[in-house]
Amino acid sequence: MKVLVGIKRVVDYNVRIKVRSDGSGVETDGVKMSVNPFDEIALEEALRMREAGHASEVIVVSVGGDECQQQLRTGLAMGADRAIQVRPEGEVQPLTVARILLAIAQREQPGLVLLGKQAIDDDCNQTGQMLAALWDRPQATFASRLELAGEAARVTREVDAGLETIEVDLPAVVTVDLRLNEPRFVKLPDIMKAKRKPLEVIEFGDLEIAPDPSMAVSHHAPPPPRARGIMVEDTAQLVAELKNRGLL
């Protein structure tokens, strides 16, 4: 069984985000870029499935310019067998990414597609659900535990009320949460080996996908600075201050 894993290039989660002075976007010059943390967890789970004998091949795919090859090579260094880069025409929205992943899934015929539940840059949380709908296959989102049993997968999901366990037939789309696993550390020999693994580049036009109407972001701005707090002497002063601010 093949497992297809989608990964996205994002600003590293340890980096403090800064908005460009002209408001055109987030500053990325000289900023460390990494694999989206949720996607890294999805890849780790796929690798564990292969090591347990449940999968025969792990394929990582990313949609983006040539700069995303760095993250694809990281996926190969973690242990993926091969990588696919789809080079888009301009900016793409989640629905377009879902259509691209659908085209790759139809070509590769994976038994399972694993995605992070969301990307930490836009927090859309849409691509996995859209892919499942377009592919007309079952989906399980926010997975904190994943078990394969024959032609089905048992998924424990994190929901508002606690945990929910469902069973879906394969092929299926599963989006993963943070508590599913702890991704492995990439070693230098693995990085060297990754340079020799196949990385296929596909042009967006070759997939014969009609581009979807895109949403244009006109301006970026940092959140307003938080007002400085005050120290109160006693409860009476606290109540008076709350009333003064219209909170009581």
3-state secondary structure of 117: coil
The residue among 124, 111, 117 whose CA lies nearest residue 180 is 117
pLDDT at residue 20 above 90?
no
pLDDT band at 57 (very low <50, low <70, confident <90, very high): very high
Q: What is the pLDDT of residue 60?
A: 97
Residues contacting residue 226 through CB under 8 Å, at least 6 positions apart: none
Task: Tell me the pLDDT tens digit for each residue of 148-168.
Answer: 988 999 999 988 888 999 999
Q: How do beta strands 139-149 and 152-159 pair? A: antiparallel
Question: Residue 187 CB: number of other CB atoms within 10 A?
Answer: 11
Q: What is the pLDDT of residue 212?
A: 73
pLDDT band at 239 (very low <50, low <70, confident <90, very high): very high
3-state secondary structure of 172: strand
pTM of the entire predicted model: 0.86
Average pLDDT across the chain, whole number: 91
Higher pLDDT, 102 or 91: 102
For the chain, give every domain's residue range.
2-223
Q: What is the pLDDT of residue 153?
A: 95
200 bridge partner residues: 84
In angstroms, rounded to a whole number, what is the distance separating the alpha carbons of residues 159 and 193? Answer: 40
Residues 78-104 have a mean pLDDT of 92
Task: Tell me the pLDDT tens digit for each residue of 97-111.
Answer: 999 999 999 999 999
Q: What is the pLDDT of residue 229?
A: 83
* Domain spanning 2-223, CATH architecture: 3-Layer(aba) Sandwich (3.40)
